[in-house]
Structure 1
Amino acid sequence: MGFSKSSFSLTLILLTSLAFLIPLNTATDLYTLIYKGCSRQNSQDSNFQSTLTSLFNSLVAQSTTSRFFKTTSGSGQNALSGLFQCRGDLTNADCNNCVKKLPAMSTNLCGQTISGRIHLAGCYIVYQTSDFPQLSGTELLYKTCSGSKESFEDKRNTAFANLETGIAGGSGFYATTYGSVYVVAQCEGDLSVSDCGACVKEAVQRAEAECGNSIAGQIYLNRCYMSYSYYPNGVGHSSGSGQQTGKTVAIVVGGAAALGFGVICLLFLRSLWKKRDDY
């Protein structure tokens, strides 16, 4: 008893088609490296690596239940402070999976430098020694601008204004779309509402001044970031887009899987009836 060759072929085609329905790039995108920042000075402390490992372990453990956490490892001059933060629209599971990538990446990219920052699309991690110079919250760490479009700035500026209004609502994370321009901003988790608004405003002003009519840009300041992208075909996002996309994907893949299971059952029953007729 078993599938006929034709039944097996149909099943294989179906399963292959289902595989293509699953958005494999969703998780991969979260782990895309945006930028790294490593100090030029290495630690001379013989216990540095063990202290850093302890710090990373604490941060990873907290990422199962929180999207932001700050802590300290070690003591005295050898103490290390650090934090992680995930995008505000990630689930706890996605946040944890993202943060788990960071310690190894930090070791590979920064080694034993006394300060480091690894920023992925979905999360970032920061650590520094107690005597490392403190940066202004609006210090520019990284920027990128790409593409250009004439008569784009008015549409972009309206999207930026909506972003500033939205972030002032106090959640520390906001994403919205205006005229096919998708914008998102996030502040470090312990910033006050007013400081967050001021930081994002500074990031927006830098984007306006430095990216001009670029159709995409990213501005990363020390304690906040903002990015924008233009989708000429109207493919954009809304506030909370990550969660909504996840729900849509679950419905589509779940429905496809149910359909696939039903077809496989029918093929199996057909094989049984064919076998019965052969006796």
Structure 2
Amino acid sequence: MGISRAQHHHHLLSSPQISTNVLPSLTITLKLLLLFLLLPAVAGDLYALVYKGCANQTLSGSGAAYMQPLSSLASALTAQTASAKFYKTTIQSLFGLFQCRGDLSSSDCSTCVGRALPMWTSLCGPAAAARVQLNGCYALYQASGFPQVSGTRMLYKACGSGGGGGGFEVKRDTALAQLQSGVASGQGFYVTSYASVYAMAQCEGDLSAGDCSECVAQAVQKSEVECGGASSGQVYLDKCYISYSYYASGVLHGGGGGGGGGSGGGQTEKTVAIVVGGAAGVAFLVICLLFARSVMRKRDDY
């Protein structure tokens, strides 16, 4: 808490009233406290809705007539979430797929897809095609014969409300160029950082390295046009998406990146910042109480 570990340890050794055994306990307590407070914010963000896309056309039939094929498709996809991060199939003239973010664990992927699939009907009703994008995954379906769209068609964008400041665009462009190089090497999911700009890209699971690279390049161009000098941005194309955020001096800056939309992302960042600040304050209080208890015990011993 503003005192280096070496200085803190020296202080403990120089004081005859405070036990040096307190330091390991404080370290463990602090780590556990921070982990306990941060996990809910991080986990909850994975399942936040980013956007939905619903076709104007509707599935043929009504009630159970269209619900049964959708239910069968959802069950077929759900069965694969424990072993795959990308899977597609066709059930009764309905094509569907899911994809999880490349850094998700199997359990987080399964939970994310499990939350996205019911949103098909809750958000889009009997639409002939629907796509639900959460922060950690997306799931889509479309009826047989539904018109196809270009893989580089922009589906959604979100730009932060604040500017990155002097020199930001050079930093951002460098990070985004690294993204393009990363996916060109055959990695469909890639994360990088440069000068406090953190960027991520992901392509649909069965895209070739060349098509993935081209899609990400298109997303980068669109982000530069759509978001300009904004400190964060997200661009979702049909076959890939990118996001970037700028953190000045390690402090969350601007809004949008990594969240569910322009304002949603900013709110997520504020929530995390509040949690971190709260954790630090509580941890400091715990340390003070442990020190006081140690001093009292030593005095009792004397």
Name the TM tier (shorter chain): 0.7 to 0.9
Amino acid of the residue matched to residue 128 of structure 1?
Answer: Q
Q: 5 Å matches for 1:232-271?
A: 232-234=248-250
What displacement does 1:172 show? Answer: 0.2
Partner of 2:165: 150
Determine if the alignment matches structure 1 residue 88 to structure 2 residue 102: yes
Write the distance in 1 (CA, Å) between the matches of 2:251 and 2:206.
33
Aligned partners of 1:84 and 1:123 also within 8 Å? yes
* Other-structure match for 2:23: none
Matched, 1:52 2:73: no
CA distance in 2, matches of 1:62, 1:120: 18
Q: Report what 1:43 is aligned to.
A: 59
- Does 1:211 pair with 2:227? yes
Match of 1:64 among 75, 82, 85: 82
> What's 2:238 paired with?
222
User: What does 1:111-130 correspond to in 2, within 5 Å?
Assistant: 111-130=125-144
Q: Does 1:172 align with 2:181?
A: no
CA distance in structure 1 between the aligned counterparts of 2:149 and 2:89, rounded to whole angstroms: 18
C-alpha distance in 2 between matches for 1:186 and 1:19:
28
Across the two proteins, how many residue pairs are aligned to each other?
220
Spell out, residue by residue over 1:185-218, the C-alpha distance to the aligned partner (whole angstroms, 9 max, x if none): 0000010110000000000011111111000000
Alpha-carbon RMSD across the aligned residues, in angstroms, is 2.0
> 1:185 corresponds to which residue?
201
State the alpha-carbon separation in 2 of the partners of residues 110 and 119 from structure 1.
Answer: 13
Partner AA of 1:99 in structure 2: V
Q: Deviations over 1:33-53 (max 9, x none)?
A: 000000112212242210011
Q: Which amino acid aligns with 1:83?
A: L
- Tell me the alpha carbon deviations over residues 204-247 of structure 1, each in whole angstroms, 9 at most, x when there is no partner: 011111111000000000000000000112369xxxxxxxxxxx
Residue identity matched to 1:182: Y
Q: Is the 1:180–1:235 contact (alpha carbons within 8 Å) kept by the matching residues of 2?
A: no
SS state at 1:84 partner? strand
CA 1:199–1:18 in structure 2 vs 1: closer, same or farther (change >3 Å)? closer
Gaps of 5+ in 1: 1-13, 237-262, 264-279
CA distance, structure 2, for counterparts of residue 105 and residue 25 of structure 1 = 22
* Distance in structure 2 (CA, Å) of the matches to 1:208 and 1:19: 36
Matching residue of 1:271: none
Q: Deviations over 1:159-187 (max 9, x none)?
A: 11111111112120000110000000000
Counterpart of 1:104? 118
Q: Specify the alignment match of 1:269 in structure 2.
A: none
Contact 2:164-2:246 at 8 Å conserved across structures: no
Cross-structure match for 2:16: none
Q: What is residue 257 of structure 2 aligned with on the other side?
A: none
**What secondary structure, in the 3-state scheme, does the structure 2 residue paired with 1:24 have?**
helix
Whole-angstrom distance in 2 between the partners of 1:153 and 1:80: 43
CA distance in 1, matches of 2:219, 2:35: 40
**Residue 202 of structure 2 is aligned to residue 160 of structure 1:** no
The amino acid that maps onto 1:112 is P
Secondary structure, aligned partner of 1:41: coil
- 2:210 alignment partner in structure 1: 194
SS at 2:99's partner residue?
A: strand
Deviates more, 1:226-235 or 1:107-116: 226-235
Give aligned-pair identity as a percent: 52
Aligned structure 1 segments of 4 or more residues deviating by more than 4 angstroms = 16-20
State the alpha-carbon separation in 2 of the partners of residues 43 and 62 from structure 1: 25
Aligned partners of 2:116 and 2:75: how far apart in 1? 11
Distance 2:230 2:128 in 1: 36
CA distance in 2, matches of 1:190, 1:55: 19
